[in-house]
Amino acid sequence: MTEKIVVGYDGSDSAKRALGFAAERAKAINATLVVAHVLEWSPYSFLTPTEVEERHKRRTEELQRAEQALLAPAVAALDTGGLTVQTVLKYGHIAETLCKIATDNDAAQLVIGRQGHSNMASRLFGSVAGTLAQVAPCPVTIVP
């Protein structure tokens, strides 16, 4: 079994840099690259009755959009050069779900970008990169 490198990808500039970096690393050690995108979702948020009714429809649309507008172009743009690329699309808390994806894939490494600026919200609640650095099940590389 080849090693796997999981990269968190959300379409931002830093995520693009992280993807590029992860692809280089994967080629270097001949690993499989897993491009993961997490749609922020809490099972404890509150919805109106209409939102409850339309949820399944919206979820299908959201998954389709993420696949078509985000993951597919990212993979297509990648200079694969014989690299095996998989994609994963999940709902959940971003940091927790990325950890879960890393565990499920028995990842050798987790690569993520980070937001260049530190805003008030991430100071208060912690950033994804900061959280992952503390709780990830494997070595984490944070790409600026």
Partner 1 sequence: MTRNDIRKTTLPAVATSVVAALMMARSAGASTLDETINTVFANSTGWFVSLIFSNFPGTSFPWIVAWLVVAATVFTIYFGFIQFRAFPHSIALVRGDYSDPNDAGEVSHFQALATALSGTVGLGNIAGVAVAVSVGGPGATFWMILAGLLGMASKFTECTLGVKYRNEYADGTVSGGPMYYMTKGFAERGLKGGKILAVLFAIFCILGSLGGGNMFQSNQAHAQLANVFGDYPGWITGLVFAGVVFAVIIGGLKSIARVTEKVVPFMGILYCGTALVIILMNYDMIGTAFGQIFRGAFTWDGAVGGAIGALIQGFRRAAFSNEAGVGSAAIAHSAVRTKEPITEGFVSLLEPFIDTVVICTMTALVIIITGQLVTDPNTGMFILNEAGTQVKTLDGSSGVALTSAAFSSAFGWFRYVLAIAVIMFAFSTMISWSYYGLKAWTFLFGEGQTKEIIFKVIFCIFTWIGAAASLGPVIDFSDAAIFAMAVVNIIALYLLMPVVKREMNSYLSRLKSGEIRKFA
Residues 91-120 that bind partner 1 (CB under 8 A): 91-92, 100
Going by the DSSP 8-state scheme, the letter that residue 120 receives in this structure is: H
State the CB neighbour count (10 A cutoff) for residue 45. Answer: 8
Read off the amino acid at residue 132.
L
Residues 37-76 that bind partner 1 (CB under 8 A): 39, 41, 43-57, 59-60, 62-63
If the CB atoms of residues 19 and 95 are measured against partner 1, the closer one turns out to be 95
Nearest approach, Cβ of residue 51 and partner 1 (Å): 8
Length of the chain: 144
If the CB atoms of residues 13 and 54 are measured against partner 1, the closer one turns out to be 54
d(CA 67, CA 87): 9
Contact residues for partner 1 (CB under 8 A)? Answer: 39, 41, 43-57, 59-60, 62-63, 90-92, 100
